[in-house]
Amino acid sequence: MKSRDQQFGEICEAVAVEHLKKHGYRILEQNYRTKLGEIDIIAKEKGAIVFIEVKARRSYRFGNPKWAVTPKKQRKISMVALYYLKATKLRDVKARFDVVAIHPIQGDQSIEIIKNAFELAYT
């Protein structure tokens, strides 16, 4: 049985996928897992491969969700992204890292797409 947090995460990722589709993203993968880590969503948008981290909050008690992608998390996502590009033989493609932040608003949600949220981080 999934925890309340896992259920919340799945719902938020589904909301993010629908929002991204409405904004012209074509979803390639969801919950792409390797031994190195996971990327929430991999999509294509305007010729670029986009690696997307979804962050959501039930409240602002722990801050704005868009600031939750720490340098450590950026390194992990970067490693998985490089693995994905190598595994799929996508070498000379434009790629970027976006964050979808789902903000709590009483009775509803506000969704923000932060394009180019961070650069490739591997050190």
In a domain, 94, yes or no: yes
In a domain, 65, yes or no: yes
| pLDDT tens-digit series, residues 31-41 | 999 999 999 99
**In sequence order, which residues have a C-beta less than 8 Å from that of residue 102 and are 6 or more positions away?**
12, 15, 16, 54, 55, 56, 57, 65, 109, 110, 111, 112
CATH of the domain at 87: 3.40.1350.10
In a domain, 41, yes or no: yes
Residue type, 49: I
Domain count of the fold of the chain: 1
Q: Among residues 69, 65, 61, 49, which one has the least CA distance to residue 15?
A: 65
> Could you state, in chain order, the average pLDDT of each consecutive group of 10 residues for the chain (123 residues)?
80 92 97 96 96 84 80 95 94 93 72 93 67
Range of the domain at 36: 4-118
DSSP secondary structure code for residue 117 in this structure = E
3-state secondary structure of 102: strand
In a domain, 123, yes or no: no
**40 CB-side CA count, 13 A:** 23
